[in-house]
Amino acid sequence: MSKNLLKNFLNNFSIEVTPRAVAKIENLHELIPSGTLVYIAHIEGTPIEEMVKTAKKINEQGYATMPHFPARIIKDKKTLKDWISKYQNEANVKGALLLGGGVNKPYGEYDSSIQLIESELFDLAGFEKLYIAGHPEGNKDIDPDGSTKNIDQALLWKNEYNNRTDADMAITTQFCFDSKTVINWANDIKNKGVDIPIHIGIAGPAKLQTLLRYSIECGVGASIKILQKRALDLTKLLLPYKPTKILDELAIYKFNNPDFNIEKVHFFPLGGVKQVSKFVQEH
């Protein structure tokens, strides 16, 4: 039964790629099912031309694309308008993941996704999907005191925006390794009044060392203990991590609680797109 639940839970998953990863894949259909939403991570220092070229390649192979718009690396309204125009005119992009971005000092006038939304440029350009970031384990950049006060306030603002406009919104989260943390967070924000669908971030299969490195870089907190515990088990140390356990537990919880607001899975292919593809085919 749990195998069928997991299969259903994985339906319509999305995946995140980088321009470098896409450049190495000639035919995306060999690895990514048709109809999959493909996010493009915008790493600081990547020229917008490279991002747009990647989006164009993905679009031409028949996939919907969703590039990141990290607020803190966008200098001003003119730059934002230019990015939107390039994505739209050259790569037929109709959706964006709006982020604060991990840069300590903003390049210019933006430092939050709310400011990007308030610019109204996405609305004027007719973008159909505006997705936002979620942090099941909190975010020390936004709430240095370890609380979730500022994050919750921002989510409630975005929820109100979602309710008063025709924007198609979803919360795409940072990756986690612990289902209990995810379930508690999802239920908590719902109880606070946030009813935007959640696309839960899941780290794809990878070597343990790779996952630990990315987890530390990305500030994944409580659930990193799951990896550290695994690292102490010599029988598992050399085996690649697979996200089967967290996905199984979330799929079962979703089955038993149909109103649970996690709608789909979003993969971070930390061990490579091929590894995610293989994992999904197995399940």
Give pLDDT tens digits for 12-23.
Answer: 999 999 999 999
Instruction: Tell me the pTM.
Output: 0.91
Mean local confidence (pLDDT), 248-259: 96
* Per-residue pLDDT band at 237 (split at 50, 70, 90): low
- Is the pLDDT higher at 220 or at 185? 185
Q: Which has the higher per-residue pLDDT, 214 or 46?
A: 46
- Stated as kind and residue range, the H or E segment containing 280 is helix 273-282
With bands split at pLDDT 50, 70 and 90, how would you rate the model's confidence at 206?
confident
Quick one: pLDDT band at residue 223, thresholds 50, 70, 90?
low
Evaluated on CA atoms 198, 17, 139, 10, the torsion sign reads positive
Residue with tokens 């500030």: 219
- The answer on pLDDT for 117 being more than 70 is yes
Q: Which conformational region is residue 171 in: left (phi greater than 0), alpha (psi within -120 to 50 degrees), or beta?
A: beta
> Are residues 164 and 156 in contact, defined by beta-carbon separation less than 8 angstroms?
no
Chain segment 129-164, per-residue pLDDT in tens: 999 999 998 766 776 676 778 888 999 999 999 999
pLDDT-based confidence at residue 259 (cuts at 50, 70, 90) = very high
CB 67 within 8 A of CB 96: yes
95-113 pLDDT tens trace: 999 999 877 788 999 999 9
pLDDT of residue 261: 96
The alpha carbon of residue 49 and the mean position of all alpha carbons in its chain are separated, in whole angstroms, by: 22
Question: Domains of the chain, with CATH numbers?
Answer: 2-282 (3.20.20.220)
β-bridge partners, 14: 37, 266
Give Cβ neighbours of residue 229 (< 8 Å, ≥ 6 apart). Answer: none
With a pLDDT cut of 90, the percent of the chain lying above it is 74
pLDDT at 101: 83
Q: Which residue has the higher pLDDT, 27 or 137?
A: 27
